[in-house]
Amino acid sequence: MGEVLQIREFDAVTCADDNKTKYGYRLYKKHFGELMRFVKEYTSDDNNADALDFMKLSFKRNVGDIISFNNYVGMIQLPDGFQIEILPKIDFGENDDDFSKTKRIFLKMLRTMKDFEGKVFSESNLNVDRMNLYEIFINMYLGEVRQLVKKGIKSDYVSQEDNLNYFKGKLLVNSHIRVNTVHKERFFVAYDEFHPNRPENRLVKSTLLKLQKLTQSSENAKEIYRLLSFFEMVKPSTNHEKDFSKVVIDRNTKDYGMLMQWSKVFLLNKSFTTFSGSNDSKAILFPMESVYECYVARMLKKVMIPQGWDVSTQDKGYYLFEQPRKQFALRPDIVLYRGNRCVVLDTKWKALVDNPSANYGISQGDMYQMYAYSKKYSTSEIYLLYPMNKDFRGHNDIWFGSDLDGIMPTNVNLFFIDLADKKSIEELGSVISSMDLMAVDY
């Protein structure tokens, strides 16, 4: 693997040329051309998803072509190993250029996603400052394999055919006659043997062997060598697609669930998004909207459940219309219930601006959505949760009210989550709980 360019969401990347005005991060012509080709070739299996949703192409006079990255974070590796790390835009107040701190927070947020529920990596066992994202992802995979080995690699009855000195299983008559005409003491048989050489283990071994060639981290290389010793009786997969098609994740194979997702990433160039790239370039990208939503929901559960709140995520209780049938399902990110109180919260990964005349940059569609939540859930307590930025540090509370003289008003409150401060979610919990004294039975 080659050198690494670290950028943040919404940063611009241009082609390095001394005849052009310096603008954004600059790549040599070769790498910029490969990145441009990657953007154009990056396709999706989902008709509703497109690479241009998060990789924006534009042109600026005296600058030339510009590529910027929106809403997705992770890494892109170009054919010669050059890597582009895309980190989330996180506000730290005065020191806003700390890539190491950003990376640590990003990894902490990833741990809350469904794909990483095993929490197999932590800041303590990762040299974040020295490892690029690809090496960190490799380390995460090795952590999952380590957990699997600790619990025990699954074995299964595997069909075998062999010419043995003793009879076992079922005699294959045609093969026996063909090869044993002059070997009366042998038996060509088919039998089942309890063996670890099953598709899941073959794929894991193939992934480890591939990562052994790719890693430049001595720590990762040492761990791969150690883990391979547990797969000595397993043959590497010779047909990845075929073996993946045989994998069924159920109660007995749940320990392989995340491993199979990661093996697809490394063996088939599949990403955790709905996108897939060319064979020459690799991408491991995560939708930041989902990462942020999962992080806030998981942290809020830790704060609110001990206080007696029921916490529902992606609640499916209501539809916008019931006639002639239920249509347009409402899916608020988080709904809190305690006693007669219901609080609806929705996360929005967007940087607002301190400009009341522009509605702070809040989408009109988001406000319509919040109003629908209020009416369908019969609650006046609605919260929009945005990431903190420098414009809103120490800002007065912002809220919007409607139907204030009616039976059930709608109040939409803005709250800014400071991702650099672990107490921020606790403060949100305190704000919500403190409203108990003001709560009214509607």
46 has pLDDT over 90? no
Is the pLDDT confidence value at 345 over 80? Answer: yes
Report pLDDT digits (tens) over 292-338: 999 999 999 999 999 999 999 988 878 888 889 888 888 999 999 99
Which pLDDT value is given to residue 42? 62
Looking at the structure, tell me whether residues 189 and 84 fall in a common domain.
Answer: no
Domain-embedded: residue 143: no
pLDDT confidence band for 380 (50 / 70 / 90): very high
Last residue of a domain, one of 232, 255, 286: 286
d(C-alpha 416, C-alpha 292), whole Å:
12
Q: 313 with 408, same domain? A: yes
For residue 276 the two structure tokens come to 């897939």
The answer, yes or no, to whether residue 47 has pLDDT greater than 50, is: no
Q: Are residue 166 and residue 44 in the same domain, yes or no?
A: no
Mean local confidence (pLDDT), 412-431: 93
Same domain, 174 and 73: no
Q: Is the pLDDT of residue 135 over 50?
A: yes
340 and 408 both lie in a single domain: yes
With b for 16 or more beta-carbon neighbours within 10 A and e for fewer, the 175-185 pattern comes to ebeeeeeeeee
Domain containing 345 equals: 308-438
148 inside domain: no
Look at 48 and 340; give whichever has higher pLDDT. 340
Whether 333 is covered by a domain: the verdict is: yes
Task: Indicate the pTM of the whole model.
Answer: 0.80
- Considering only residues 47 and 303, tell me which one the structure prediction assigns the higher pLDDT: 303
Q: How many domains does the chain have?
A: 3
Q: Are residues 82 and 168 in the same domain?
A: no
Element (H, E) at 266: helix 257-268
Q: How far is CA 115 from CA 15, 119, 249, in A?
A: 35, 10, 14
Residues 375-379: what's their mean pLDDT? 92
Give the pLDDT score at 129. Answer: 61
Residue 193: exposed, middle, or buried by beta-carbon count in 10 A (0-12, 13-18, 19+)?
middle
pLDDT at 1: 53
- Of the candidates 334, 417, 347, 415, which has an alpha carbon nearest to the alpha carbon of residue 379? 334
Per-residue model confidence (pLDDT) at position 19: 59
The pLDDT tens digits for 107-126 are 888 888 765 544 444 444 55
Residues 180 and 80 in one domain: no
- Mean pLDDT over 15-21 rounds to 70
Note the pLDDT of residue 369: 94
For 56-72, what is each residue's pLDDT tens digit?
888 888 888 888 888 88
Q: What is the pLDDT of residue 159?
A: 74
Average pLDDT over residues 183-195: 79
DSSP 8-state class, residue 64: E
Same domain for 70 and 188, yes or no, is no
Averaged pLDDT, 344-356: 94
Q: Quick check: is 357 in a domain?
A: yes
Residue 172: its pLDDT value, please?
79
Residues 319 and 416 in one domain: yes
Backbone angles phi, psi at 409, to 5 degrees: -70, 165
* pLDDT higher than 50, residue 144: yes
Higher pLDDT, residue 48 or 267? 267
Residues 356, 277 within the same domain: no
- Among the candidates 147, 177, 195, a domain finishes at 195
- The answer to the question of residue 421 being in a domain is yes
- Mark which of 195, 218, 242 sits at the end of a domain: 195
- Does the pLDDT value for residue 431 go beyond 90? yes
Residues 319 and 430 in one domain: yes
pLDDT band at 242 (very low <50, low <70, confident <90, very high): very high
Q: At what angle do helices 288-304 and 424-434 cross, to 10 degrees?
A: 60
